[in-house]
Amino acid sequence: MPMLNRLPVPLLIAGVGLLILPPILLALGLTVTSATEIVVFALACMALNILVGHTGLVSFGHGAWFGLAAYAAALIQRNWMPNSFVGPTLLALVVVAITAAAFGYLILRRRGVYFSLLTLALAAMLYSVSFRWTDVTGGENGLGGITRPALLGFDLDAGTTYYWFVALIAFLVLILLWRFHNSTVGSVLVAIRENEQRARFLGYPTNRYKLAAFVLSATITGLAGILLLYKNRMTSADPISVAFSGELLAMVVIGGMRSFLGPALGALFFILFREFLGIYSENWLFWFGLVFVGFIIFSPTGLIGMGERLIAPFRKKVEEDAAMSARRIEVLPLPEFLRPKSSVDGAVLAASHIVKSFGGIKAVQGVDIAIADRTLHALIGPNGAGKTTAFNLLSGMYKPDQGSVSLMGMPIAGHTPEDIASAGIGRSFQITNLFPALSVGENIRLAVQARHPRRFDPVTNALSISAINAETDAVIRYLGLAGIEKAEAGMLSYGGQRLLDMGVALATAPRVLLLDEPLAGLAAAERERIGAIIKRISTDLPVLLVEHDIDRVFQLADHVTVMNEGRVLLDGSVEEARSSPKVQEVYIGSGTTAVAARPRETAAGAKPLLTVKNVDTFYGKSHILNDVNFTLHENEIIALLGRNGAGKSTLLKSLIGIAPASNGSIQLAGSELIGLSSAEAARLGIGYVPQGRALFAGMTVEQNLELGGLKRQTGNGVHWTRERIYDYFPRIRERLDSPADYLSGGEQQMVAVARALSGDVRVLLLDEPFEGLAPAVVEQLFETFDRLRKEIAIIIVDHNLDLALALSDSTVALERGKVIHQGPSKALRDDLDLRRKVLWL
């Protein structure tokens, strides 16, 4: 009994399944031979799923390893080891492993569809060789004469004995796979599936991990092929065919590729489908293809997912508040293991005359920068100044065209991101770069694990390594993420994701920490807390900070480098940057305080335009919006305010239909929006600018605008012609032919707003439109939105309270998904005590 208690449930289910499979099939009129075939195919599918489900690599030619191993074992037994099982099997597996290692080394340099096509080419090539090389392979007649010798006193020639032999091997392989998937190597493969770029910037040599997965998958698939060889006592070219590889892939998808036993269930489904439907139709494979398409469309999580949906209504539903509300915040010193062992007098990280161009755009032109130990060095400048490009050159994302970069005196320019991360550079990203389907704790654990000596351990359970557990818990508590360790990273609020992104960078225990706009999207109180954490970190290890919150930068920084047009404009103290007329001119503008202080004339009408009543929205079991009510009038601007995780972005997504409300009513000009798709809501006159802009990368500005207005010329609202848009955003006219992702942050934000306006619009939804922008650009956008109030109604979410309150007519404040305040913005703008009471600031 104690052993059963320790056996994982999936392995227990698999063991019971292997025991009861023969009698069940016999009761259905099938044979033990069919049971053996099911176990063999299940083994091959479980092996394929190492790549497909766990690593995110789709192989279209995995049958090649199945057939290659069978041919190798058959030839070895026939020519060198007659009447032997173990010798041919082991030697064939070695052949497969060596071949897979060589082939994998070549093709794993390619990703996505290119990798899949190369595996397809391998299968097609091997099939052609095996089918035509008749002297060796037997051609279309196959290779027969294979014997099943006795092994350890057991007569494998008997069908029942051979089944139990195959079942035993399969169960041992399942134990191996269970340990592999739960090991540190298994966790890294899942990280690669979710976000390979981030895994590399944590220090993982992802090609090495992918190669290990590829070789293991090919070897186990080959083992399945050998077992089928001895079952049939012959082999042919058929298992190498592309069709057989497609069948294996279909079994994996139908069973459920994101579950451990799903592929085995898919193999069972395939054999039963073939045996029973084959009785009635020779075209059973055609019907199987239709079933496969049906699963892809209606149940991409396979039979496992279908079962979970069927039993879901019978499970007790648990409602939770938004994830961020469960945090426990403590003020703690930097954990000891994150502190450098020694300090240096000179620069820890230095760049000399670095240059980088993208086509005709000279992003960085001869920049020098040096980050001293135990200082907070701020890198600032207007949008398009080249800050992020310089940041990416320092961290290894780009290789400089000219110049050098050194860390602790060692050159690192041109090295891979994983080598640079291992050398001691940890970085966050301007756009949050996490493992979104993994939990908060798993994200931090992966970063901690990246520098642990057992990060390549393929058999030890990752959760059993106490040192990694302790350090993960310490980082989580230090950042104030305790209480939400199990929350899915992708479900956090944007501010929560930015905090986690910084935590992932810090958890690698870097020698220098590079933070790209870590305060963007955070509420004022959270900016204060995280700013204080960054300042405390800088007393132990150097921090390079790129940030547009200029007041916070001047408050925190020890040294400032100002860039403009790809060059260093100023490098000196905070006071020098603050008092420099050049910096004031190109970066700061008139300042947000001056902008917010100017009187604004309202254009709000009395007629309701958008009415929200009793709206509830859920993310899974998390109750995000709770009984939300408010009314937007014609030409009114409403500021939607609240702390991170309060539900502001979710409310905008509910209005546009991206996060459908579960109940309540949302009416736009008399039309009910609940139940409509986001496309239908957009055609009724809602323009949406998401946080992070979400432009169509690779497309030009003009193509972005054309797509924005293509289906929205419906007569529902103000019609925005291209000339009318240019009147508000004249810079766009000059950039029409430029790829959207080559623009500066400010220009991208203008394009995002212009795309949302394209067509016919009644209401414009703005989610953090001032985030990450230089003050001069913020001022320009603010004045544009102020002009827009005469044309349309606006709902704005932004953490710059002074600007949001100055721009808006009314305020709706949220806390934990509930409306806690509604009223004129003037009251909150002028009464700081009321503002603190309402917004907890």
Tens digit of pLDDT for each residue in 171-193?
Answer: 999 999 999 999 999 999 999 99
Smallest CA-to-CA distance from 495 within 344, 649, 370, 371 is with 649
Count Cα neighbours of 612 within 13 Å in the Cβ-side half-sphere: 23
What is the spatial distance between Cα 841 and Cα 832, in angstroms, rounded to a whole number?
A: 9
Count Cα neighbours of 248 within 13 Å in the Cβ-side half-sphere: 37
Kindly report, residue by residue over 667-704, the tens digit of the pLDDT: 999 999 999 999 999 999 999 999 888 899 889 999 99
The answer for residues whose C-beta is within 8 angstroms of residue 211's C-beta and 6 or more apart is: 101, 104, 105, 108
pLDDT of residue 457: 93
> Would you list the DSSP string of 646-686?
SSHHHHHHHHHTSS--SEEEEEETTEE-TTS-HHHHHHTTE
CA angle 531, 535, 539 (to 5 degrees): 165
- Which residues on adjacent β-strands are paired with residue 563? 568
What is the spatial distance between Cα 117 and Cα 110, in angstroms, rounded to a whole number?
A: 10
pLDDT of residue 3: 42
Task: Pull the structure tokens for residue 552.
Answer: 């916070």
Task: Pull the structure tokens for residue 635.
Answer: 């030409």
What is the spatial distance between Cα 776 and Cα 31, in angstroms, rounded to a whole number?
A: 77
pLDDT of residue 644: 64
What is the spatial distance between Cα 325 and Cα 345, in angstroms, rounded to a whole number?
A: 43
pLDDT of residue 694: 87
At 633 the three-state DSSP class reads strand
What is the spatial distance between Cα 564 and Cα 380, in angstroms, rounded to a whole number?
A: 9
Q: Which amino acid is at 124?
A: A
Below-70 pLDDT ranges, the chain: 1-6, 317-325, 359-361, 383-384, 521, 585-594, 620-622, 644-645, 839-841
pLDDT of residue 311: 84
Contact 680, 759 (CB under 8 A): no
At 782 the three-state DSSP class reads helix
Task: Pull the structure tokens for residue 293.
Answer: 């398409």
Q: Which phi and psi (to 5°) does residue 86 adopt?
A: -65, -50
Smallest CA-to-CA distance from 410 within 421, 423, 399 is with 423
Q: What is the mean pLDDT of the chain?
A: 90
Radius of gyration for the alpha carbons in the chain, expressed in angstroms and rounded = 31
Smallest CA-to-CA distance from 598 within 779, 776, 768, 382 is with 779
> Would you list the DSSP string of 297-311?
HH-TTHHHHHHHHHH
Domains, in order of start, for the chain: 9-246 (no CATH), 346-424+510-588 (3.40.50.300), 437-508 (no CATH), 600-839 (3.40.50.300)
pLDDT of residue 4: 44
Q: Which phi and psi (to 5°) does residue 671 adopt?
A: -100, 130
What is the spatial distance between Cα 124 and Cα 118, in angstroms, rounded to a whole number?
A: 10
Contact 592, 799 (CB under 8 A): no
Count Cα neighbours of 404 within 13 Å in the Cβ-side half-sphere: 8
The answer for residues whose C-beta is within 8 angstroms of residue 190's C-beta and 6 or more apart is: 54, 55, 435, 438
What is the spatial distance between Cα 113 and Cα 65, in angstroms, rounded to a whole number?
A: 20
CA angle 46, 51, 57 (to 5 degrees): 145
What is the spatial distance between Cα 43 and Cα 126, in angstroms, rounded to a whole number?
A: 22
- CA dihedral sign, ordered 92, 93, 96, 102: negative
What is the spatial distance between Cα 196 and Cα 189, in angstroms, rounded to a whole number?
A: 9
What is the spatial distance between Cα 769 and Cα 364, in angstroms, rounded to a whole number?
A: 26
